[in-house]
């Protein structure tokens, strides 16, 4: 199924696929034609699956494997996952990758870990045992507290580059502190899923957290890259134990598998990793990733560029350099299609979606409020709405309206960036929904930019592997850019119908917001 990477499926373990992609081997990475038997492993733990890639030293993809996760537990504003299951999934993906490397005579030079960012939990630092579920980045149980400190939004934005919302870890940490008895223990550490996994994988006695994931706690100062004690006090978290901060490129420790032991050289957030996997490493390079959520990101170089309503954050860091990004998020991309399929029953297979979009002829517009609206609007608890149905309307019109709604959200993000002088010449695009030709063409039309569809779909796992290679010294940022970018550009065209529906969609958004506020 085309979009299965990002949607909730069964917990079936899929068979790995061995890939011969010699076309991806670039002479830039290693001079000469000799193919070394060295490799890197990239692991990406997403919301619905764990992916692993084994990348050869010349850049060729040797192995791609995936394990689906059980759907998260959802109840009202709560979205939870099981920490032990997630850790087991990552370990299994590592075991399979390590076995493949050993059986094919490859030496693993290092591992990179990419992880869903604001998802967090508490655990016993001495034993590594989780003491709470994983509170997903989509979990908004901290919304009431966020509303109470709304006047502190400008102060938080100045320090972190992030708007005040319940999607980040800080309000979730406060809920855990107030509601989980074990939170009071001296050995209890509060951290992101990435820091929990890092300690579990390496067996380190101490918890650490990389700068990219720490930025999404909303407790780290984005310029000093240090825990901000004023923010910790503001979120009423004084006295909690936080992991030690470290660059995204670091020697985190050694991972042991049945097939050997290798260093964990990089840990990074999934969307930051996706940028690396797309080759977005130069200032003003742009990328779009359509996953469970959608993300539009632009590299801003060594400078933090805060923009109201958007997220300015660290891209990656090392002992001698740091790179920043500007980001906007769409909270329901793959989730929106899963809702149409599983809850509304509008289609059975995701392979039908592209054809439905091309066959639609009406003017229906669909506003999706699942999981809230994301940037630059940041609304929680907003309804979804549909407008423009006629006697001639059909399922295809609703499906196309939903797909176009995702593109409309991206358009809002791009416009917010443009107003602040941030505007890439083109975007590299990835994710399960990037396989929808209608979405890619429509998005290019709306943005008036070329979209270059990435040759690979597992760009976060690829980015994690590439970052490990960067820390090892095998690759430079420019060589990563040359390796990752590819594909023929899809040029934007004038689309009067799409522009009209965009204006109507914005009005539908406004009306929906007002209706939700009515007593």
The 10s digit of each residue's pLDDT in 230-272 is: 999 999 999 999 999 999 999 999 999 999 999 999 999 998 9
Which tokens hold the place of 66? 């995936």
pLDDT in tens, 314-366: 999 999 899 999 999 999 999 999 999 999 999 999 999 999 999 999 999 99
Nearest to 59 by CA among 470, 435, 430: 470
Tell me the C-alpha distance between 141 and 144, whole Å.
7
* pLDDT of 35: 54
Q: What is the DSSP string of 88-103?
A: HHHHHHHHHHHHHHHH
pLDDT in tens, 210-219: 999 999 999 9
pTM score, two decimals? 0.84
pLDDT in tens, 42-95: 999 988 899 999 999 888 899 999 999 999 999 989 999 999 999 999 999 999
Q: What is the mean pLDDT of residues 1-6?
A: 34
2 has a pLDDT exceeding 60 = no
Tell me the C-alpha distance between 91 and 462, whole Å.
18
23 has a pLDDT exceeding 60 = no
Tell me the C-alpha distance between 204 and 189, whole Å.
14
pLDDT in tens, 120-153: 999 999 999 999 999 999 899 999 999 999 999 9
* pLDDT of 22: 30
Q: 386 has which bridge partners?
A: 366
* pLDDT of 36: 63
27 has a pLDDT exceeding 60 = no
* pLDDT of 455: 78
Mean pLDDT, rounded, of the chain: 90
Q: 16 pLDDT band (50/70/90 cuts)? A: very low
Tell me the C-alpha distance between 508 and 373, whole Å.
13
* pLDDT of 8: 28
The answer to whether the beta carbons of residues 455 and 488 sit under 8 Å apart is no
* pLDDT of 310: 95
* pLDDT of 371: 83
pLDDT in tens, 387-408: 999 999 999 999 999 999 999 9
């Amino acid at each position: 199924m085309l979009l299965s990477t990002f949607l909730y499926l069964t917990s079936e373990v899929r068979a790995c696929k061995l890939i011969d992609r010699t076309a991806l081997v670039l002479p830039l990475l290693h001079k000469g034609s000799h193919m070394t038997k060295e490799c890197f492993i990239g692991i990406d733990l997403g919301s619905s699956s764990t992916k692993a890639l084994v990348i050869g030293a010349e850049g060729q993809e040797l192995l791609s494997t995936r394990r689906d996760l059980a759907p998260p537990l959802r109840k009202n504003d709560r979205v939870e996952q099981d920490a032990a299951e997630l850790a087991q999934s990552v370990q299994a993906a590592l075991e399979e990758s390590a076995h493949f490397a050993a059986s094919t005579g490859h030496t693993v030079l290092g591992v990179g870990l990419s992880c869903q960012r604001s998802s967090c939990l508490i655990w016993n630092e001495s034993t590594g045992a989780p003491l709470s579920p994983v509170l997903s980045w989509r979990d908004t149980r901290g919304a009431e507290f966020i509303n109470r400190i709304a006047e502190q939004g400008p102060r938080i934005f100045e320090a972190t580059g992030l708007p005040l919302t319940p999607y980040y870890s800080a309000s979730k940490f406060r809920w855990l502190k107030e509601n989980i008895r074990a939170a009071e223990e001296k050995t209890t550490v509060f951290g992101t899923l990435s820091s929990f996994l890092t300690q579990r994988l390496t067996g380190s006695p101490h918890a650490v957290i990389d700068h990219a994931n720490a930025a999404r706690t909303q407790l780290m100062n984005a310029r000093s890259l240090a825990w901000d004690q004023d923010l910790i006090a503001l979120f009423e978290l004084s006295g909690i134990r936080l992991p030690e901060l470290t660059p995204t490129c670091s020697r985190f420790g050694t991972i042991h598998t049945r097939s050997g032991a290798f260093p964990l050289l990089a840990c990074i957030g999934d969307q930051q990793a996706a940028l690396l996997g797309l080759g977005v490493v130069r200032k003003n390079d742009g990328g779009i990733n359509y996953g469970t959520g959608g993300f539009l990101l632009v590299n801003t170089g060594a400078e933090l560029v805060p923009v109201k309503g958007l997220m300015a954050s660290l891209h990656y860091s090392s002992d001698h350099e740091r790179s920043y990004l500007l980001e906007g998020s769409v909270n329901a991309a793959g989730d929106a299609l899963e809702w149409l399929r599983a809850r509304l029953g509008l289609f059975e297979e995701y392979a039908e979606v592209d054809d439905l979009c091309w066959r639609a002829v009406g003017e229906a517009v669909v506003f999706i409020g699942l999981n809230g609206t994301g940037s630059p609007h940041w609304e929680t608890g907003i309804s979804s709405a549909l407008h423009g149905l006629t006697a001639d309307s059909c399922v295809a019109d609703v499906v196309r309206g939903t797909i176009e709604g995702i593109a409309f959200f991206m358009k809002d993000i791009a416009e917010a960036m443009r107003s602040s002088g941030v505007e890439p010449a083109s975007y590299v695009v990835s994710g399960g929904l990037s396989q929808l030709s209608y979405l890619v063409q429509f998005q290019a039309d709306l943005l008036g930019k070329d979209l270059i569809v990435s040759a690979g779909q597992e760009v976060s796992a690829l980015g994690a592997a590439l970052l490990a290679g960067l820390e090892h010294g095998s690759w430079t940022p420019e060589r990563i850019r040359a390796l990752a970018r590819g594909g023929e550009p899809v040029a934007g065209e004038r689309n009067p119908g799409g522009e009209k529906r965009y204006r109507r969609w914005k009005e539908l958004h406004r009306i929906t917001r007002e209706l939700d506020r009515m007593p």
